[in-house]
Amino acid sequence: MGRLRIHCDNCGGEWDVYHRDDWKKASARTCPVCGESIDPGTWGGVLRGFHELEDGSIELIKDHTQYHKTLFTVDYISDAMYPNRKESRELRDIREDLEGIKRTITALFSI
Ligand SMILES: [Zn+2]
């Protein structure tokens, strides 16, 4: 069904945790980039919320398939609580490369 996308504000890394993953393993709650880890108790709360949302989504699909009601899907979008969120080094490098290309093109067209 759904998956969780985790964002690490320490390094800007992101990873997905799928239903089929063994999310009780520490690796499910650990940033693969910098190794920072979500507290196990906090992670349990996140998973409980995710299960609730999954159960609700299953009910919406049942309404659609059994009673021919309109299919609704629900996603959780994290609020931008941290507008100064760090971006990953890779993304920053790409952004800098694009700025360099933009400067080159601008210089070429001004000749
Ligand atoms: Zn990280």
Tally the domains of the chain: 1
Question: Residue 86: its pLDDT value, please?
Answer: 61
CA of 58 to the centre of ligand 1 (A): 32
CA of 98 to the centre of ligand 1 (A): 24
CA of 34 to the centre of ligand 1 (A): 4
Tell me the residue range of the domain where 86 lies: 3-109
Question: Residue 87: its pLDDT value, please?
Answer: 63
Distance CA 94, CA 65 (A): 44
Distance CA 6, CA 3 (A): 10
- 35: nearest Cα among 51, 17, 13, 58: 13
What is the tens place of the pLDDT at every residue in 15-56? 999 877 788 889 999 999 999 999 999 999 999 999 999 999
CA of 89 to the centre of ligand 1 (A): 11
CA of 65 to the centre of ligand 1 (A): 40
CA of 20 to the centre of ligand 1 (A): 23
Question: Residue 31: its pLDDT value, please?
Answer: 96
The residue with tokens 């945790």 is: 17
Asked if residue 81 has pLDDT above 70, the reply is no
CA of 32 to the centre of ligand 1 (A): 7
